[in-house]
Amino acid sequence: MTIFLFIGLKRFIACLQKFCFKLFFIFFHFFSFTFFSYICKLLFIIMNFIKRLLSRCKTEERVDVGMKYLIVGLGNCGEEYAETRHNCGFMVVDAMAKEAEATWTLDRHAYRAEMRLKGKQITLIKPTTYMNLSGKAVNYWLSKEKVPLENLLVVVDDIALPVGTLRMKKQGSHGGHNGLRNIEELLGTNAYCRLRVGVGAEFSRGRQIDYVLGKFSAEESAKMEPCFAEAVEMVKCFVTQGADRAMNLHNHK
């Protein structure tokens, strides 16, 4: 219906423009310049109103195409953090962007990439605020893109899960993870979906920071490669079929 209205209004504007030119010559020959100027102003007001209406129709058409989703990969920027356990979130959204041939651009508080999937508009972000201030980027892009909270998915590393294990939850505590803690503080809620990527807990007491900021061993990398591929499918399922379906299909693996 919106498309037909849009086409009809475009044709109406074209006809109105032709009418204005004809009216110009008529009034130029038979009426005073002052009266003619008033008529012109009135016509221009009408045309501007119709143009604004057309612009609104375009916006509504874009919104109707599909719902918006925000997928956040948590991690730390910088070469020294690349491919570390703490950057699992970055690696998952990188894999998604690569598959969709989406390009990363540096934007406010984050690297951002746009993609579409079965009519859904997806914004991928990698916060540049560092892990402990991830909420700043999440809060900004949720508001900027007008994404409903239920369409937010945060991908995060988790030492409480064995290496290569995936678990999606619709809400929950931050579990001591500083990135999730900051997101919860700034959003004022923990009722958002998160995909936890298991990195194991093979470290001695007091060595947790060194462990999560370290890179995977060769044995671990062999497990993580199919894990990241499965994580991409899980995120896609979240977008196209919902969190419950994604959890039912993938959480048991």
Is the predicted pLDDT of residue 66 greater than 70, yes or no?
no
What would the DSSP string read from start to end of 23-52? HHHHHHHHS-HHHHHHHHHHHHHHHHHHHH
Main-chain dihedrals φ then ψ at residue 123, nearest 5 degrees: -105, 120
What is the residue range of 24's domain?
2-65
* 183 band by pLDDT with thresholds 50, 70 and 90: very high
Residue 46 has a pLDDT of: 74
Per the residue annotation, which of 86, 109, 177, 250 is the catalytic one? 86
Residues 48 and 96 reside in one and the same domain: no
Please tell me the total count of domains within the chain: 2
Alpha-helical runs (H) found in 31-175: 33-65, 88-100, 134-145
> How many C-beta atoms lie closer than 10 Å to residue 34's C-beta?
7
Residues 126 and 38 reside in one and the same domain: no
Residues 11 and 132 reside in one and the same domain: no
Whether residue 86 lies in the annotated active site: yes
Mean pLDDT of the chain: 85
Main-chain dihedrals φ then ψ at residue 68, nearest 5 degrees: -100, 145
Residues 72 and 61 reside in one and the same domain: no
CB of 230 within 8 A of CB of 252?
Answer: no
* 61 band by pLDDT with thresholds 50, 70 and 90: very low
Average pLDDT, integer, range 116-141:
95
Residues 138 and 16 reside in one and the same domain: no
| Least confident range of 8-22, 43-57, 181-195 | 8-22
Q: Which residue has the higher pLDDT, 2 or 125?
A: 125
Model confidence, pTM: 0.74
Residue 40 has a pLDDT of: 62
